[in-house]
Structures are given as C-alpha cells and as structure tokens.
A = this chain, B = another copy of it.
Amino acid sequence: MQNLDQSFNALADPTRRAILARLARGEATVLELAAPFSMSQPAISKHLKVLEGAGLVSRRVDGTRRPCRLEPAALDAIDRWIADLRRVLETNYSRLDALLADIEMNEGEA
C-alpha cells in the first residue's frame, strides 16, 4: 500500500500530530495552526501539504483563507493494517499452542 507509506510518514512527525490533534477540535486556518509553534508559516504549510497528501487533512477555500479539517477516514487504513498484523500473529500463536499441546500429548503417550 503506497498510501500507508504516506500516512505513517505523516504521523511520524510530532508537529504534524499536534496539528491533527488541533484539527480534531475543529477547523482551523493555516495561521491559526502555525500560532502555537515556534516555526515559520511556510514550514507549517509544508507540513499541511504532507498531511493533505496522506489524505489526513482537507482544505476548503474561504476568501484568502484555507481552513483545514481532519479527515479521519484516512486513519482507517492504518487501523486495518495493524489489525491484520495482530490477526496473523494471533493465528500463528494459536497454531503454536496447538502444536505444543500436541507434542505434550505425544510425550504423555511415550
């Protein structure tokens, strides 16, 4: 999955996670998002571009402003990937348990 690359990468940066946390509370413009950080506005714009590329954020046009909002659907793919990993892990643990139980049984026979 190409998009998992972008999603995980987007979330790997603390500034970007903070931006998402802010957006979870509601829409915000670029300058509003930049305010809490000791970072230039272009830096925040670049972070937003990364988040948008990952589908985690969308923007609308409001005059000269570009209010951003969180797109939680992009998180689903991540959830699914992790869940799949756990599922495979569980499946194979179960098999291992069965195998061990089997060995134990045969040892009991011997």
- Chain A residues at the B interface, C-beta cutoff of 8 Å: 1, 4-5, 8-9, 11-14, 17, 20-21, 24-26, 70, 72, 75, 78-79, 81-82, 85-86, 88-89, 92, 96
Contact = CB atoms under 8 A, between A and B. Distances in A.
Copies in the complex: 2
Main secondary structure of the interface of A (DSSP, over half): helix
A36 to B, nearest CB: 16
A88 B9 contact: no
B86 A72 contact: yes
B5 A8 contact: no
Contact of A92 (B8, B25, B92): B25
Contacts of A24: 85-86, 88-89, 92
15 contacts: A4-B11, A4-B14, A5-B12, A8-B11, A9-B12, A17-B81, A20-B85, A21-B85, A24-B86, A24-B89, A24-B92, A25-B92, A72-B89, A78-B82, A79-B79
